[in-house]
Amino acid sequence: MQNRLMMGVALFATLLAAPAYAAGSHAGGHDDEMALGKAGEASHVTRTVEVSMMETNEGEMLFEPKVIEVKEGETVRFAFQNKGQIPHEFVMDTSESIQEHKVLMEKFPEMEHADPNSISLQPGETGEIFWTFTNTGDFEFACLIPGHYESGMHGPLTVAAK
């Protein structure tokens, strides 16, 4: 049983790494770059976007703001606060990758993230992500803890031209 669990975790890690690597091998040759950009440096931050994670008494789960708009080339500091009563996470990526990751999270709900485009927070915790948006387009952010996406915890992330 332990062997199967370890094999499952290894397979999951491999599946997660493959899309990020494939997305990062564009003509610029940035191995750590994803479709929506790459981890940013604090010294290059041009603005901060404060993001709250929470749930309502009616069972809705949400992010504030519900929509994120940035510009190509911008380095953003995302400052997170989990104002809810349960754990939440924030993952940003292409809509296709978000959906693929969501399916994997349903199979492996205990999986924790250590990717530069995501953060997991317990109730009351704060955290941050620094991100440089290198490509224009329509992307998505979401909480992929099973059931949270379906309860409304996702939104559009648009990267506009400079």
**Tokens at 66, concatenated:** 């519900």
Q: With contact defined as beta carbons under 8 Å apart, do 144 and 117 qualify?
A: no
Q: What is the pLDDT of residues 141-162, one digit of tens each?
A: 999 999 999 999 999 999 999 9
Return the ∠ at Cα 150 (arms to 116 and 22), rounded to 5°.
Answer: 35
User: 3-state SS string over the chain?
Assistant: CHHHHHHHHHHHHHHHHHHHHHHCCCCCCCCCCECCEEECCHHHCCEEEEEEEEECCCCCEEEECCCEEEECCCEEEEEEEECCCCCEEEEEECHHHHHHHHHHHHHCCCCCCCCCCEEEECCCCEEEEEEECCCCEEEEEECCCCCCCCCCCEEEEEEECC
Q: What is the pLDDT of residues 60-113, one digit of tens each?
A: 999 999 999 999 999 999 999 999 999 999 999 999 999 998 998 888 877 776
Q: What is the value of pTM for the model shown? A: 0.79
